[in-house]
Structure 1
Amino acid sequence: MDILHENLLGSGERGCFDGQFLLAMPGLDDTNFSRTVIYICAHTDSGAVGFILNRPQSISFSELMVQLELIEQEEVATLPASAIELNVQMGGPVDTGRGFVLHSEDYRSDATLPISEDLSLTATVDILRAITKGRGPKRATMMLGYSGWGAGQLEDEVSANGWLTCPAIENIIFDDVLDDKYERVFASIGIDPAMLSSECGQA
């Protein structure tokens, strides 16, 4: 079982970063995560799993659906607006060929995993088909790949001032304006990221 399923399906006690945003500190020395906002959807003593919320992919949702042969090219023009407008983002450097939809709890299939009272995660084609037919969740964002940390790794990175943490905001999770999301999340907690190079871990 990979770290994603171990954390999402495991029965371990929820960690302190569960349901939090991670904001990359200016001094974080990892190009995969520079200036990223990450939603941690699971944190236990086994590790942590999250998704980057501000890294766009070059492929659109409709192009991806054609590539996956879930729709024909001529069907693109008939897709509902919710499908046309759905962002496809880079969720992280792990398993980048795999798709995940983080969404509101109003959609559920046998493969849907509840993340919180209001959020769920589905990683099967069922939800993609539902979205193309206008029967998907009210709010959704799609990621290719995810971000994962082993046991104790995220705690060590936060302690080393690699990340600032703050409570997640649902509107930010589904906000499709990505260019300045990093700055806006910092602004929401009253912090200028330019002043953070020597600051420490939690807001």
Structure 2
Amino acid sequence: MNSLEGQFLVAMPDMADERFAESVIFLVGHSDDGAMGLVVNHELDMRFADILDELDLGDPDMIIRLPDAIRERAVMRGGPVEKGRGFVLHSPDFSSGNTYEVANNICLTATLEVLKAMAFGPAPKAALFALGCCGWAPGQLEGEIAQNGWLTVPFSRELLFETPVERRYDAALGMLNITRATLSPDAGHA
């Protein structure tokens, strides 16, 4: 099997599951045991300061005094599985005992320690925080790709960390030299 770990999935226009409409998903794991990923282009209606406050990760006065760039950081809707659990994709300049190196110098950490580092330092140079994740049983993702549910897009650090959230879907399509207008929902199989 060819692992897609470290690559992106881009939902096709006729995605039957509305939870994934126009989604770009970064795959953090893909093996014979299944797959796991995080939606990286759909924000929740909350900010990073809300999470810090809710988890009581700092004195409320300290949280209020954080720079706006930290307080107002977006929180992604990572997926419909484990919606209350936080996941951070980040550069390899942060590591804890629970950091998993995905691929392409991207790491995944799902501990309070990384959230504290993002808020109060030393923070990873690049980070994306998501609540929830996406999961596929063995063979499920491969079946969805064969049924024309997803396009696969090679890794791009710029897409993951630098492209504005609202432009990530179009940017991912652009990496394949296609646009929404030229993307057909019908698949062809040779």
Gaps of 5+ in 2: none
* Equivalent position to 2:83, from 96, 104, 114: 96
2:56 and 2:30 map into 1 onto residues whose CA distance is 34
1:19 and 1:64 map into 2 onto residues whose CA distance is 26
1:17 and 1:87 map into 2 onto residues whose CA distance is 26
The aligned runs of 1:131-150 (5 Å cut-off) are 131-150=118-137
Deviations 1:85-132 (A, max 9, x none): 532101100000000110000100111111124111110101111112
1:196 aligns with 2:184: yes
1:150 and 1:200 map into 2 onto residues whose CA distance is 25
Q: What is the number of equivalent residue pairs in this alignment?
A: 188
1:125 and 1:142 map into 2 onto residues whose CA distance is 12
The answer to whether the Cα contact below 8 Å between 1:22 and 1:163 also exists between their aligned partners in 2 is: yes
Gaps of 5+ in 1: 1-13
1:31 aligns with 2:18: yes
Aligned-pair RMSD on alpha carbons?
Answer: 1.7
Q: What is the one-letter code of the residue matched to 1:198?
A: D
Percent of aligned pairs with the same amino acid: 36
Deviation at 1:190, TM superposition (A): 0.7
Name the TM-score, length of structure 1 as normaliser: 0.86
Divergent runs of 4+, >6 A = none
The answer to whether the Cα contact below 8 Å between 1:25 and 1:193 also exists between their aligned partners in 2 is: no
* Equivalent position to 1:153, from 115, 140, 148: 140
2:78 and 2:21 map into 1 onto residues whose CA distance is 13
The aligned runs of 1:1-203 (5 Å cut-off) are 15-80=2-67, 83-175=70-162, 177-194=164-181, 195-199=183-187
1:109 and 1:16 map into 2 onto residues whose CA distance is 25
The answer to whether the Cα contact below 8 Å between 1:80 and 1:134 also exists between their aligned partners in 2 is: no
The answer to whether the Cα contact below 8 Å between 2:80 and 2:133 also exists between their aligned partners in 1 is: yes
2:7 and 2:109 map into 1 onto residues whose CA distance is 19
The answer to whether the Cα contact below 8 Å between 1:23 and 1:36 also exists between their aligned partners in 2 is: yes
Name the TM-score, length of structure 2 as normaliser: 0.92
